[in-house]
Amino acid sequence: MKPSKPKAIELLKQQLDQIPKLKASDQDSPDFEKWRQMTRTIIANLFGQNSVQLASFVDISYSLSGFCNEPPDSAWQQAYVSGFETAEAQLEALLTEVTTFWSDEAVPAATTPAESLAVLFDRFHVVARQLRARHASRPTLNISDEYDVQDLLHALLRLYFDDVRTEEWTPSYAGSASRMDFILNEYGVVIEVKKTRYGMSAKDIGDQLLVDIMRYKTHLNAKQLFCFVYDPEGLLPNPTGIERDLSRISDELDVRCFIRPK
């Protein structure tokens, strides 16, 4: 489900507040691309992947087009700033829309971290594909390895959770230690992220996750372990079987496995 009204307002204001600083930079700044991708993700989650609001934001241009002679640098910078002025107006309009028309009711008490995570896992592939649809074929976030999966999932987790911690060492198991991908400490939830690749079998994935489960059993804060396996090429022949084999309560650790898409 979409974030609550207060959370939506907070997220939109957060993106608006970054605009003045970005205007003073240029289009080559990595902060600009991070801001635009994050804003797109927020709008998609608040208003929908096929919404007019998202389409309008995606259509904003931050550069010149259709010129005969090479324009001066000042013209490029002006186009960049003009794009931000349009984005600023759109975000302010979205903020007004949320403030005026969204219900003031709080998120239902029945909503749990598990339900929120299930939504994120189910929609992850749709968001990843949307990020590839860049204006004028500009560079984007290509999900090529586990680090890319972690980066995008981390951004999406911020839509639902305020305290998302990363890289906490787990206790040693079988002579080695590893890092948790993400931990939601207030809920006792750990999220382990995997990405399939050619040459990696279903047995390899299963064995890795079994080792992770044994490690997390000894972590005092871990009550639930969510294993998210991103398989965009459909390399796993029986994802439902793997999910069922690994999703269980093991020594009071509630393990849930999600392989997406499938």
Termini Cα distance of the chain: 21
Task: For helices 239-246 and 202-216, give the axis angle rounded to 10 degrees.
Answer: 20
Interval 142-178: pLDDT, tens: 888 998 999 999 999 988 898 998 865 555 444 454 5
C-alpha neighbours within 13 Å on the C-beta side of residue 119 = 13
Interval 63-101: pLDDT, tens: 876 555 666 767 778 888 999 999 999 999 999 999 988
C-alpha neighbours within 13 Å on the C-beta side of residue 116 = 23
What predicted TM-score, i.e. pTM, was given to this entire model?
A: 0.58
Portions of the chain given CATH number 3.40.1350:
129-260
Q: What is the pLDDT of residue 168?
A: 58
**Where does 129-260 sit in CATH, by number?**
3.40.1350
Using the Cα atoms of residue 242, residue 248, residue 252 and residue 254 in order, give the sign of their dihedral.
positive
Question: Which of the pair, 200 or 179, is modelled with greater confidence?
Answer: 200
Band of residue 108 on the pLDDT scale cut at 50, 70, 90: very low
Interval 40-65: pLDDT, tens: 999 998 988 888 899 999 999 988 76
Q: Report, in angstroms and rounded to the nearest whole number, the Rg of the chain calculated over CA atoms.
A: 21
